[in-house]
Amino acid sequence: MIATGMAALPLHAQTARHTLRIGFQKSSTLMILLKSRETLEKALAPLGASVQWYEFTSGLPLLESLNIGNLDLSADVADAVPPFALAAGANLTYYAIETPSPEAQAIVVRQDSPIREIAQLKGQRIAFAKGAGAHYLLLEALAGAGLSIRDIEPAYLSPADARAAFERGSVAAWVIWDPFLAAVQRQANARILRDGKGLSSYRRFYLAATPYAQRHGAVLAAVYDELRRAGEWVKQHPAAAAQWHAPLIGLDAPTVEAANRRRTYQVQTVDAASLDEQQRIADAFGSQKILPRRVVVADSPVWRRT
């Protein structure tokens, strides 16, 4: 059930002939699978909807484009992304989630590192992407060890720069998500110090432009059903899914398969627990002065499949 005060948008809104504009990233496994098979084009034709696809390099620009009316629907973005869009005043509807995959992001150290517990990160230089889910995971892990961000030396780096810094030893630890996590484990023998279990659920969120969600509930229902089927196929055919996706993201299939084992790909409608964690993420980044204003996640509408 959706938490009190969160609006549920109707499923059976009238659908007129139109184009559904979808934004995605290379990490958007399920949406890319539907795109490659032209699944949505076939499923939405009876509803009078055609599909256009737009690729983005990261989640926040995708949601910004969604907010200003250049897109109608976003493929999945990491759980830290929506609070930033909402803080910028975006009028977005929470559409769907993938269920928690807490092992899909982790704090890693080199195999020969003497660091064995989070408390030993005190005074160390740690690489992570500022404002990402990895940042939130680090905040929670430090708090659990009685530390704060002030007790470490942050190195705000992109995944590519952080990987280089990690391998040459200029950072003591790296906080990262899959498939980068699987890659550094397989290629550089990195050791997981702490993953997200009990700290950060790492859900993937799908969002829609609220005006579109209000008008085209039947289209959203059809897309939702196809996303669920795609997620089931990926989990039921791990080797085939990895072989298909690996060339698209520039990794070898075994690395992609290792990453996919940690991600549930189980698509569901948004529930109260996921939005509660969205609020915790927003509050954590607000306390760090990263968000420009306080976000009240409960003010955002929620679509439900009925």
Residue-wise pLDDT tens digits, 192-211: 999 999 999 999 999 999 99
Q: What is the tens place of the pLDDT at every residue in 129-183?
A: 999 999 999 999 999 999 999 999 999 999 999 999 999 999 999 999 999 999 9
The CATH label, of 3.40.190.10, 3.30.565.10, 3.10.310.70, 3.40.50.2300, for the domain at 8-99+202-303 is: 3.40.190.10
CATH superfamily for 102-195 is Periplasmic binding protein-like II (3.40.190.10)
Q: Is the pLDDT of residue 11 over 90?
A: no
Looking at per-residue pLDDT, the higher value among 60 and 147 belongs to: 147
pTM to 2 decimal places:
0.90
Cis status of the peptide bond prior to 247, with omega within 30 of 0: no
CATH 3.40.190.10 in the chain, residue ranges? 8-99+202-303, 102-195
pLDDT tier, 5 (very low <50, low <70, confident <90, very high otherwise): very low
pLDDT tier, 16 (very low <50, low <70, confident <90, very high otherwise): low
Residue range 282-287: average pLDDT?
95
pLDDT tier, 59 (very low <50, low <70, confident <90, very high otherwise): confident
